[in-house]
Amino acid sequence: MDKGLGLKIQATGEGFLVTKPLPPHSKNHHMYYFYVLQSLKDKNLYFGYSDDLRIRFKEHKGGRVPSTKNRRPLELVYYEAYGSEKDARERERQIKKRAKAYISLKRRITNCLLK
């Protein structure tokens, strides 16, 4: 039963699949990203946020970001999407300033990190 939530419910051989369609892409619905890069050179992590993750990663890879220029090559190992710039910026600040948040994130992405 949908109950007006916009959910799509499909019966499958193993039960039910419940999905919610993504909102239509428009200028009013813009996503912001908190992301984690790992240097292949020294294995260190770099945290950032951006409204266009693809372009920002290309900037990092091309050496156009001073903080990661000398740490290339880089790998994108993790990202989170947010509906507001404030939330993405706050997540970056939280990871950089709070040891517990950093440790929690590192545990979550441990299998994504390069050894």
Q: Give the residue extent of every domain in the chain.
A: 25-108
Predicted confidence band of residue 115 (pLDDT cuts 50, 70, 90) = confident
What are the structure tokens assigned to 11, written together?
């019966």
Kindly report the average pLDDT of the chain as a whole number.
Answer: 85
Asked if residue 17 has pLDDT above 90, the reply is: no
Residue given tokens 């946020």 in the structure block = 49
Predicted confidence band of residue 1 (pLDDT cuts 50, 70, 90) = very low
User: pLDDT, tens digit, for every residue of 48-99?
Assistant: 999 999 999 999 999 999 999 999 999 999 999 999 999 999 999 999 999 9
Class of domain 25-108: alpha beta
Predicted confidence band of residue 32 (pLDDT cuts 50, 70, 90) = very high
